[in-house]
Amino acid sequence: MNGRVRRIFLDTTPLRRDRDYRWLWSGQVVNGMGNQITRIALPYQVYVLTGSTLAIAALTLFQLVPILLFALGAGSLADAVDRRRLLMATQAGLAGCSLVLVLLALTGSPPVAALFAVAFVAAGLSAVDQPARSSAIPRLVPAERLPSAIALNQLNFQMASIVGPALGGILIVIVGLPGAYAVDCLSFLASLTALFAIHPLPPLGAVTRPGLEAIREGLRFARRKRAILGSFVIDLNAMIFGMPTSLFPVLALDVFETGPAGFGLMAAAPAAGAFLGALFSGWVKSVQRTGRAILAAVAVWGLAITAFGLVTVSFPLALLCLAIAGAADMFSAVFRSTLVQLETPDALRGRVMSIHTLVVTSGPRLGDIEAAVVAALTTPQFAVVSGGVLCVLGVGVVARRFPELTGHVTRLRPLAD
């Protein structure tokens, strides 16, 4: 029974056996909460100052553009320098951005342009941080524990996504915006302490100078490795067609008639499902047909979103559908990251993970636009259902066009170097 339970529940072996990974993960537990606090505090502050939803949309754009501009270059940088030192630099820079937000909030009515400027710089630093952090994980754990480490990262992210916004709202009420930003600023002490504690992560072997040629080399590798390219395409398929989060307000207010509380529950349901999925992810390390697992997870996502659009008579059932979708997305992320990390040499891992950053960042935004446009032309329910159906159909198309993904088998051998 104990062995059976261990195979079902989250595998914490990387936390117990891999010292450097334990440090990095623990620092991110604290810092992830802080990041989520600022994630809700900043748009809240912009809206309070402007009273304009367009200003919030502009803020989102200011946070997206640096990632689109800098992610690929950041990946080439992550392959050329010590990733630990690079992460220390980005975390120190992000802590500085949080400190500036504290000082601006203390003025009472800071210039909105200053908030946008800080958001732009912070997003640019995050564009460097994300591929460096992702590409560091395979250096901290052996290959056989990589799927479990990625599942632990997912648990960490989902826990922060659930607790962080709620904590941020409470802090804004109790200590105001300066106090909320200050908590985020202090959370970087945890991540910086963790980075000081782990061993250096210099490049392995020959180093390619960061720049356009290095970026092109990473793009050529991703295009040539059809299983990796297919994993990017299948995620874009899921996010563009099956990501109706932009419709949650209208669905909560006009369809389910549950008000702001219902909107909050809808926004939290996918994260809750992903969190529960991560708790029961002990079996992921035994999955070898990773490609089929990715396709199956995305198909479940699409079916759950379709069902969500159909069950408008029952709000609890709709929340269940969103939770199932969130769990499916979490498993898809684990399998996709495992495939990409194991199939990419360490010398290229930063660049390939920067492509992954572009995909997971731009996909949901494009999905928000697609859902909003279709809803404007038809109805919100039709937009959700049609998007879910197209997502499922897209799984079939990707499976046919990328047989390398469909037939991909992951063997937890030593990582490519």
| pLDDT tens track for 180-191 | 999 999 999 999
Residues 271 and 370 in one domain: yes
Residues 229 and 349 in one domain: yes
Question: Which residue, of 174, 205, 236, is where some domain finishes?
Answer: 205
Q: Which among 38, 64, 42, 55 has a CA at the least distance from the CA of 363?
A: 64
Burial (CB count within 10 angstroms: exposed 0-12, middle 13-18, buried 19+), residue 287: middle
Question: How would residue 237 be classed by pLDDT, with cut points 50, 70 and 90?
Answer: very high
Asked whether residue 37 is assigned to any structural domain, the reply reads: yes
Digit-coded pLDDT (tens) for 383-395 = 999 999 999 999 9
Residues 217 and 365 in one domain: yes
Asked whether residue 333 is assigned to any structural domain, the reply reads: yes
Q: How many Cβ atoms sit within 10 Å of the Cβ of residue 386?
A: 18
Question: Which residue, of 144, 178, 205, is where some domain finishes?
Answer: 205
Question: Which residue, of 143, 171, 205, is where some domain finishes?
Answer: 205
User: What are the Cα distances from residue 322, in Å, to 50, 301, 318, 332, 395?
Assistant: 32, 9, 6, 15, 19
Share of the chain above pLDDT 70, in %: 97
Residues 382 and 233 in one domain: yes
Residues 306 and 399 in one domain: yes
pLDDT at 2 exceeding the cut of 80: no
Residue 111: what are its φ and ψ, rounded to 5°? Answer: -65, 130
CATH code where residue 192 lies: 1.20.1250.20
Residues 63 and 87 in one domain: yes
Residues 57 and 199 in one domain: yes
> Across residues 113-118, what is the average pLDDT?
96
Residues 104 and 224 in one domain: no
Question: How would residue 178 be classed by pLDDT, with cut points 50, 70 and 90?
Answer: very high
Residue with the bigger pLDDT between 305 and 165: it is 305
The tally of domains found in the chain comes to 2
Angle between helices 315-343 and 146-197 (to 10 degrees): 80
Residues 260 and 331 in one domain: yes
For CA atoms 281, 282, 285, 286, give the dihedral sign.
negative
Residues 223 and 331 in one domain: yes
Instruction: Give this prediction's pTM.
Output: 0.86
Question: How would residue 33 be classed by pLDDT, with cut points 50, 70 and 90?
Answer: very high
Asked whether residue 166 is assigned to any structural domain, the reply reads: yes
Q: In which region does residue 7 sit, left (phi positive, over 0), alpha (psi from -120 to 50) or beta (all else)?
A: alpha
Q: Which domain holds residue 231?
A: 211-411
Contact at 8 Å (CB) between 66 and 123?
A: yes
Question: How would residue 1 be classed by pLDDT, with cut points 50, 70 and 90?
Answer: very low
| Whole-number Å distance between alpha carbons of 388 and 309 | 8
Asked whether residue 416 is assigned to any structural domain, the reply reads: no
Give me the pLDDT at residue 244, please: 86
Asked whether residue 255 is assigned to any structural domain, the reply reads: yes
Asked whether residue 363 is assigned to any structural domain, the reply reads: yes
Tokens of 303: 């079916």
Residue 228: what are its φ and ψ, rounded to 5°? Answer: -65, -45
Residues 141 and 196 in one domain: yes
Residues 197 and 219 in one domain: no
Asked whether residue 417 is assigned to any structural domain, the reply reads: no
Tokens of 81: 């320098």
Quote the Cα angle for 316-328-59, to 5°.
Answer: 80
For every residue of the chain, which 3-state class applies, written as one string?
CHHHHHHHCCCCHHHHHCHHHHHHHHHHHHHHHHHHHHHHHHHHHHHHHHCCHHHHHHHHHHHHHHHHHHHHHHHHHHCCCCHHHHHHHHHHHHHHHHHHHHHHHHCCCCCHHHHHHHHHHHHHHHHHHHHHHHHHHHHHCCHHHHHHHHHHHHHHHHHHHHHHHHHHHHHHHHHHHHHHHHHHHHHHHHHHHHHHHCCCCCCCCCCCCCCHHHHHHHHHHHHHCHHHHHHHHHHHHHHHHCCCHHHHHHHHHHHCCCHHHHHHHHHHHHHHHHHHHHHCCHHHHHCCCHHHHHHHHHHHHHHHHHHHHHCCCCHHHHHHHHHHHHHHHHHHHHHHHHHHHHHCCHHHHHHHHHHHHHHHHHHHHHHHHHHHHHHHHCCHHHHHHHHHHHHHHHHHHHHHHCHHHHCCCCCCCCCCC
> Across residues 284-299, what is the average pLDDT?
92
Q: Which residues contact 414 (CB under 8 A, 6 or more apart)?
A: 142, 143
